[in-house]
């Protein structure tokens, strides 16, 4: 699989800090992931960058609603991907410290702890 170079370049040049990718089934789960990201960024890891993407492409109105929701949360360290191509997924996978495919029944702090434990390892690579 070939990495989508514009996405990889954007991740290299414009995204600083650890990256968590949420690969979720629908817009409702994606909205919940944005809420979780907001809590983590506010209370646990202000340097965390969140990518929220859909398994299946979202229609434009749903994507716009998610962007508006992220703006309402003042979540500036988030990238909403309503229709990720295979190459984009590959670029996100290369950059992500943590990849989540479901919403947490686990404590939010465990996401921050996973990032903390991986930051040095990934940055050293």
| In contact, 44 and 109? CB cutoff 8 Å | yes
Domain CATH for 21: 3.40.50.2000
Indicate whether 124 belongs to any domain: no
Indicate whether 125 belongs to any domain: no
Indicate whether 93 belongs to any domain: yes
User: pTM to 2 decimals?
Assistant: 0.80
In this prediction, residue 124 carries a pLDDT of 37
Give the separation between CA 10 and CA 35, rounded to whole angstroms.
24
Query: Within 2-107, where are the H helices?
Result: 5-14, 27-39, 60-72, 86-95
Indicate whether 120 belongs to any domain: no
Q: Is the pLDDT of residue 1 over 70?
A: no
Indicate whether 36 belongs to any domain: yes
In this prediction, residue 9 carries a pLDDT of 87
Residue 80: beta bridge partners? 52
In this prediction, residue 119 carries a pLDDT of 65
More confident residue, 114 or 8: 8
Indicate whether 123 belongs to any domain: no
Q: How many domains does the chain have?
A: 1
Indicate whether 104 belongs to any domain: yes
Helical (H) or strand (E) element with 120: helix 108-124
In this prediction, residue 3 carries a pLDDT of 78
Portion of the chain with pLDDT greater than 70, in percent? 87
Q: Which domain holds residue 66?
A: 5-115
Q: Tokens 């940055």 — which residue?
A: 123
Instruction: Summarize pLDDT for 59-116 with one digit per residue, the tens.
Output: 999 999 999 999 999 999 999 999 888 898 999 898 888 888 887 666 666 777 777 7
Q: Is the pLDDT of residue 45 over 60?
A: yes
Indicate whether 32 belongs to any domain: yes
């Amino acid at each position: 699989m070939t990495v989508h170079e514009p996405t990889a370049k954007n991740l290299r040049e414009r995204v600083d800090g650890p990256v968590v990718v949420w690969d979720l089934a629908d817009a409702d789960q994606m909205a919940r992931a944005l809420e979780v990201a907001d809590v983590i960024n506010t209370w646990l890891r202000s340097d965390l960058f969140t990518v929220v993407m859909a398994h299946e492409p979202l229609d434009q109105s749903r994507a716009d609603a998610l962007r508006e929701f992220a703006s309402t949360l003042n979540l500036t360290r988030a990238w909403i991907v309503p229709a990720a191509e295979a190459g984009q997924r590959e670029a996100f996978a290369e950059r992500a410290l943590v990849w989540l495919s479901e919403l947490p029944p686990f404590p939010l702090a465990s996401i921050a702890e996973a990032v903390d434990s991986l930051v040095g390892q990934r940055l050293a690579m």
